[in-house]
């Protein structure tokens, strides 16, 4: 794959999050009484609910593929190192996990127990949330060694730690569900903002980045 093609794959880190957020807002607007503060985003795609196919097939799956492509571009454009490779692969896993979550939707209300499809959705979502945080932290650490990305290593580590804090808050809120939607959105907002900023920065400077 040539360098000019790789440059445009970086845009997946920008388009994927924007696309997912847009579809989420549209689907939520079509759902009377849906509450962003207390309800999970996955509830918009829950089995048997209205417009679930829009959230799953137009939201989760395309967005996940775009983020996975962004992860692939990181592997190809960043100088080779074990830490950067693991971090980039975890970004890919996060994107592919979104695709799986879109294929296996949760039951209505996204309960902790339910059908096999609900169980797969729940386990996949929890796993990729943790893995993407680790991926961002590893990439942040690796950026210290790359002159063109060195100024973003502290931002990346802070983003990873902040996302971890939001994830912990999300987990502890599950018993009451009163603020679960808020913590999930803060978590994903931190992740998606990082993807967009890093994708834009690397896209802007890609003419100076060596493909390895």
DSSP symbols for 156-185: HHHHHHHHHHHHHHHHHHTTT-SSHHHHHH
Token pair, residue 68, equals 């996975």
pLDDT at residue 93 in the model: 98
The SS3 assignment for 48 reads: coil
Q: Output the pTM of the full model.
A: 0.93
61-86: b (≥16 Cβ within 10 Å) or e = bbbbbbbbbbbbbbbbbbeeeebbbe
When comparing pLDDT for 78 and 209, which is higher? 78
Residues with Cβ within 8 Å of residue 160, at least 6 apart in sequence: 133, 134, 136, 137, 140
Query: Per-residue pLDDT for 209 more than 80?
Result: no
Report yes or no: 128 and 99 within 8 Å, Cβ to Cβ. Answer: no
pLDDT at residue 98 in the model: 98
Token pair, residue 197, equals 């900023």
Query: Per-residue pLDDT for 8 more than 70?
Result: yes
Question: Mean pLDDT throughout 123-138?
Answer: 97
Half-sphere exposure of 155 (CA within 13 A, CB side): 14
Question: Mean pLDDT throughout 130-150?
Answer: 95
Alpha carbon distance, N-terminus to C-terminus of the chain: 11
pLDDT at residue 212 in the model: 37
> Which pLDDT tens digit goes with each residue over 80-117?
899 999 999 999 999 999 999 999 999 998 998 899 99
pLDDT at residue 207 in the model: 58
> Which pLDDT tens digit goes with each residue over 33-68?
999 999 999 999 999 998 999 999 999 999 999 999
**What distances in angstroms separate CA 29 from CA 23, 24, 25, 51, 72, one per listed residue?**
10, 9, 6, 11, 33
Query: Per-residue pLDDT for 137 more than 60?
Result: yes
Measured CA to CA, the distance from residue 10 to residue 13 in angstroms comes to: 6
pLDDT at residue 208 in the model: 53
> Which pLDDT tens digit goes with each residue over 66-86?
999 999 999 999 988 999 999
Token pair, residue 195, equals 């993807």
Tell me the pLDDT of the chain averaged across its residues: 93
């Amino acid at each position: 794959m040539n360098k000019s093609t790789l440059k445009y794959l970086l845009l997946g880190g920008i388009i994927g999050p924007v696309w997912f957020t847009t579809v989420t807002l549209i689907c939520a607007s079509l759902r009377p009484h849906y509450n962003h503060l207390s309800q999970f985003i996955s509830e918009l795609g829950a089995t048997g609910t209205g417009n679930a196919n829009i959230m799953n097939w137009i939201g989760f799956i395309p967005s996940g593929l775009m983020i996975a492509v962004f992860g692939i571009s990181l592997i190809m454009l960043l100088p080779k190192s074990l830490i950067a490779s693991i971090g980039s692969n975890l970004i890919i896993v996060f994107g592919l996990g979104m695709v799986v979550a879109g294929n296996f939707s949760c039951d209505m209300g996204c309960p902790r127990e339910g059908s096999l499809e609900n169980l797969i959705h729940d386990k996949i979502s929890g796993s990729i949330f943790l893995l993407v945080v680790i991926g961002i932290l590893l990439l942040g650490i690796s950026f210290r060694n790359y002159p063109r990305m060195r100024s973003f290593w502290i931002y990346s580590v802070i983003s990873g730690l902040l996302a971890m804090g939001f994830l912990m808050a999300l987990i502890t809120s599950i018993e009451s569900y009163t603020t679960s939607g808020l913590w999930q959105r803060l978590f994903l907002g931190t992740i998606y903002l990082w993807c967009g900023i890093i994708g834009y920065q690397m896209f802007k400077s890609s003419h100076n980045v060596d493909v390895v």
